[in-house]
Amino acid sequence: MIGFLIQRLLQALLVIVAMSIIVFLGVYAIGNPIDVMIDPASDQALREALIHRYGLDLPLIQQYFVFMSNMLHGDLGESFIYRLPVLSLIFSRFPATLELALTAMLIATCLGIPLGLWAGYKPDALSSKAIMAFSVLGFSVPTFWIGLLLIMTFAVELGWLPSGGRGPVSTVLGMPLSIGSLEGLSYIILPAFNLALFKLGLLIRLTRAGTVEVMSSDYVRFARAQGLSESKVVGLHVLKNISIPIVTVFGLELGSTLAFAVVTETVFNWPGMGKLIIDSITVLDRPVMVAYLILVVFLFVLINLVVDLVYGQLDPRIRVKASS
Amino acid sequence: MSEPVLSVKDLRTQFKIRAGVLNAVDGVSFEVGRGRILGLVGESGSGKSVTGYSILGLIEQPGFIAGGSVLLHGRDITRLTGEELRRVRGAQIAMVFQDPMMTLNPVLKIGTQMIAAVRAHDNVSRKVARGRARDALAKVGIPSPEERLDAYPHQLSGGMRQRVAIAIALLHRPAVIIADEPTTALDVSIQGQILAEVRRLADETGTAFVWVTHDLAVVSSLADDICVMYAGRIVETGPAAEVIAAPRHPYTAGLLASVPAEHEPGDRLPQVPGSTPSLANLPRGCAFAPRCFKAGPACTTTPSIQQFEDGRSALCHYPIESDSCQPHSSTSTTYRSAS
Tens of pLDDT along B252-261?
888 888 877 7
Residue B56 contacts A, CB cutoff 8 Å: yes
pLDDT at B146: 92
- Min distance A211 CA to chain B CA atoms (Å): 14
Name which of B339, B276, B277, B288 is nearest B317 in CA terms: B288
Chain A residues with beta carbon closer than 8 angstroms to that of B95: 222, 225
Establish, for the pair of chains A and B, how many residue pairs have beta carbons separated by less than 8 Å: 81
Q: Of how many residues is chain A composed?
A: 324
Chain B residues with beta carbon closer than 8 angstroms to that of A315: 106-107
Residue A240 contacts B, CB cutoff 8 Å: yes
| CA dist., res. B114 & res. B170, Å (int) | 11
Q: Do B89 and A227 touch (CB under 8 A)?
A: yes
Q: Do A316 and B154 touch (CB under 8 A)?
A: yes
pLDDT at B2: 62
Chain-centroid distance of CA B301 in Å reads 28
pLDDT bucket at A322, cuts 50 / 70 / 90: very low
Q: Do B56 and A225 touch (CB under 8 A)?
A: yes
Burial of B81 by CB count in 10 Å (0-12 exposed, 13-18 middle, 19+ buried)? exposed
DSSP B31-94: EE-TT-EEEEE--TTSSHHHHHHHHTT---TTEEEEEEEEEETTEETTS--HHHHHHHBTTTEE
Chain A residues with beta carbon closer than 8 angstroms to that of B158: none
| CA dist., res. B146 & res. A287, Å (int) | 61
Q: Do B91 and A229 touch (CB under 8 A)?
A: no
Chain B residues with beta carbon closer than 8 angstroms to that of A241: 105-107
Q: Do A237 and B108 touch (CB under 8 A)?
A: yes
Taking each helix axis as running N to C, give the angle between helix A182-215 and helix A239-259, from 0 to 180 degrees, rounded to the nearest 10: 140
Q: Among A219, A226, A240, pick the best mutation site for testing chain B contact (most B Cβ within 10 A).
A: A226
Instruction: List the single residue in A with minimal CA-CA distance to B154.
Output: A317
Instruction: List the single residue in B with minimal CA-CA distance to A244.
Output: B107
Residue A317 contacts B, CB cutoff 8 Å: yes
Facing B107 at nearest CB: one of A227, A228, A316: A316
Q: Do A217 and B102 touch (CB under 8 A)?
A: yes
* Contact criterion met (CB below 8 Å) for B19 and B225: no
Q: Do A240 and B105 touch (CB under 8 A)?
A: yes
Instruction: List the single residue in B with minimal CA-CA distance to A238.
Output: B105
| CA dist., res. B312 & res. B306, Å (int) | 9
* Total Cβ atoms within 10 A of residue B296: 10
Structure-model confidence comparison of residues B1 and A83, the more confident one: A83
Residue B103 contacts A, CB cutoff 8 Å: yes
- Min distance A199 CA to chain B CA atoms (Å): 26
Strand A175-177 to strand B6-17: parallel, antiparallel, or no bridges (unpaired)?
unpaired
Chain A residues with beta carbon closer than 8 angstroms to that of B104: 219, 222
| CA dist., res. A128 & res. A211, Å (int) | 13
* Contact criterion met (CB below 8 Å) for B185 and B103: no
Residue B263 contacts A, CB cutoff 8 Å: no
Number of H helices, E strands in chain A: 15, 2
Instruction: List the single residue in A with minimal CA-CA distance to B84.
Output: A227
CA end-to-end span of chain A, whole Å?
10
The DSSP element (H or E) to which B234 belongs, if any, is strand B233-239
Q: Do B120 and A232 touch (CB under 8 A)?
A: yes
Facing A226 at nearest CB: one of B99, B108, B168: B168
pLDDT bucket at A319, cuts 50 / 70 / 90: low
pLDDT bucket at A324, cuts 50 / 70 / 90: very low
Name which of B177, B14, B167 is nearest B92 in CA terms: B177
Q: What average pLDDT score do residues A161-187 get?
A: 77
E strand spans, chain B: 6-17, 20-32, 37-41, 63-72, 75-76, 93-96, 176-180, 208-213, 225-230, 233-239, 305-307, 313-315
Q: Do A224 and B89 touch (CB under 8 A)?
A: yes
Residue A91 contacts B, CB cutoff 8 Å: no
pLDDT at A320: 52
pLDDT at B337: 46
Instruction: List the single residue in A with minimal CA-CA distance to B116.
Output: A228
Chain A residues with beta carbon closer than 8 angstroms to that of B87: 227
Name which of B48, B77, B136, B167 is nearest A226 in CA terms: B167
**Residue A238 carries which DSSP code?**
I
Mind listing the pLDDT tens digit of every residue in chain B (339 residues)? 467 899 999 999 999 988 788 888 988 999 999 999 999 998 888 888 899 999 998 888 888 998 889 999 988 988 888 888 899 998 999 999 888 888 999 989 999 999 999 999 989 999 999 999 999 998 888 889 999 999 999 999 888 898 899 899 989 989 999 998 888 877 888 888 888 888 988 998 889 999 999 888 888 888 999 999 998 889 999 998 888 888 888 888 888 888 777 677 777 777 788 877 788 778 888 888 888 888 888 888 888 888 887 788 888 888 887 654 444 444 444 554 443
Chain-centroid distance of CA A259 in Å reads 5
Q: Which residues pair with B65 in a beta bridge?
A: B13
Q: Do A218 and B112 touch (CB under 8 A)?
A: no
pLDDT at B113: 93
| CA dist., res. B239 & res. A173, Å (int) | 77
- Min distance A291 CA to chain B CA atoms (Å): 41
pLDDT at B151: 92
Q: Do A229 and B107 touch (CB under 8 A)?
A: no
- Min distance B176 CA to chain A CA atoms (Å): 12
| Cβ contacts of B122-126, under 8 Å, gap ≥ 24 | B122/B172
Q: Among B107, B115, B121, pick the best mutation site for testing chain A contact (most A Cβ within 10 A).
A: B107
Q: Do B107 and A240 touch (CB under 8 A)?
A: yes
pLDDT bucket at A89, cuts 50 / 70 / 90: confident
pTM metric for this prediction: 0.79
* Contact criterion met (CB below 8 Å) for A289 and A281: yes
pLDDT bucket at A184, cuts 50 / 70 / 90: confident
Q: Which residues pair with A241 in a beta bridge?
A: none
Q: Among B54, B56, B85, B105, pick the best mutation site for testing chain A contact (most A Cβ within 10 A).
A: B105
Name which of A178, A173, A177 is nearest A161 in CA terms: A178
Q: Do A228 and B103 touch (CB under 8 A)?
A: no
